[in-house]
Amino acid sequence: MTDTPRRLRVLAAMSGGVDSAVAAARAADAGHDVTGVHLALSANPTSFRTGARGCCTLEDSRDARRAADVIGIPFYVWDLAERFRQDVVEDFVAEYRAGRTPNPCLRCNEKIKFAALLDRALALGFDAVCTGHYATVVRRPDGSRELHRAADLAKDQSYVLGVLDDRQLAHAMFPLGDTRSTKEEIRAEAERRGLAVARKPDSHDICFIADGDTRGFLASHLGSAEGDVVDEDGRKVGTHQGAHGFTIGQRKGLRLGRPAPDGKPRYVLDISPVNNTVTVGPAEALDVVGLTAIRPRWCGAAPPAGPGRYTAQLRAHGGEAPVTAEEADGELRVRFDQPVRGVAPGQAIVLYDGTRVVGSATIATTERSRAAA
């Protein structure tokens, strides 16, 4: 919606970081009627961040308020902690319990920022929700919208927005996506505007795990239970304190008591929550040649029926892989031109046609060129 000159009522989601503050300022500069809102997503927020981890502290709320004051826009704090707990945190824990590897950032964009927040914004008469994501919404002549990568591919965040549908795109605004400003230039712009968050560290990792200890967080929710680590032939090579603490493709932290016969590193090939077993093996056993994904969501119009040629991205900071994909019986079936590694059920696959985001789906099963035991 950045291509229309019409004055819009815009609700700017302000996390307390530099990107969302500059995005809100740019929306105001464009002549829109902007209101800032900080989402309180933690039921018991801490006062201060730990380094660059997390984004839901009282400090972040205050930083967002100060930025709104400098920009000269109204500001509110909305409590969405219970919705966030149900739709993001509990989903995260449940996916790991089932042996899958979720992406909570996609779920937050789908369920919180462009569902709960957007629904409330529209009910209050706003036209669009503005965020500091690096992506671009393009309006076509027929009025439909397309989601594209950011102008600066190094900062592109379209992967975590691949869950947005046509209705959500129609009310999305990403003021940072169509500029090639480096992060340092964004920070310099924030300084020129007098925004105190100009040099504030970016948030990393999972926002609701402020100390970065995902395994400890899962253990506190799912408990600890000793299980076996086995090789491809089923031989026990170690133990663990909970299969939920591992993800497919993981190499570090396996603590194996028996080295591989060839002396090469071993990786997690399979996670079985039913018998609390983790299977490990060589890197080449991770090669995936195809997959089936569920709950496809299309960014705009659905692609034509039948097989199509796309590129696929499998993680937020990963590269693209050429694929043939088609939707059949409500599932997305994908074949890779060349084997790829580190693909785990629960992750999102996002399809692209050039820079355009076609859509996304959640990986359910994978087909490997070499089957694990």
pLDDT number for residue 291: 97
Among candidate residues 55, 105, 130, 207, the one labeled active-site is 207
Measured CA to CA, the distance from residue 107 to residue 209 in angstroms comes to 15
Measured CA to CA, the distance from residue 219 to residue 15 in angstroms comes to 28
pLDDT less than 50: residues of the chain:
1-4, 47-54, 372-373
pLDDT number for residue 372: 44
Tell me 305's DSSP state. Answer: S
Among candidate residues 55, 108, 130, 299, the one labeled active-site is 108
Residues of CATH 3.40.50.620 domain(s) within the chain? 9-199
Measured CA to CA, the distance from residue 173 to residue 13 in angstroms comes to 11
Residues of CATH 2.40.30.10 domain(s) within the chain? 287-368
In CATH, what class is 224-285? mainly beta
Residues of CATH 2.30.30.280 domain(s) within the chain? 224-285
Tokens found for residue 180: 């090639």
Q: How far is CA 338 from the centre of its chain?
A: 25
Neighbours of 255 (CB within 10 A): 10
Tell me 201's DSSP state. Answer: P
Measured CA to CA, the distance from residue 119 to residue 96 in angstroms comes to 29
pLDDT number for residue 205: 65
Measured CA to CA, the distance from residue 346 to residue 326 in angstroms comes to 19
Cβ neighbours of residue 2 under 8 Å, at least 6 residues apart? 30, 136, 137, 173, 174, 175, 177, 178
pLDDT number for residue 193: 97
CATH architecture group of domain 287-368:
Beta Barrel (2.40)
Measured CA to CA, the distance from residue 68 to residue 77 in angstroms comes to 12
Verify whether residue 108 is a known catalytic residue: yes
Cβ neighbours of residue 99 under 8 Å, at least 6 residues apart? 243, 244, 271, 272, 273, 345
Q: What is the CATH number of domain 9-199?
A: 3.40.50.620
Instruction: Report yes or no: 296 and 306 within 8 Å, Cβ to Cβ.
Output: no
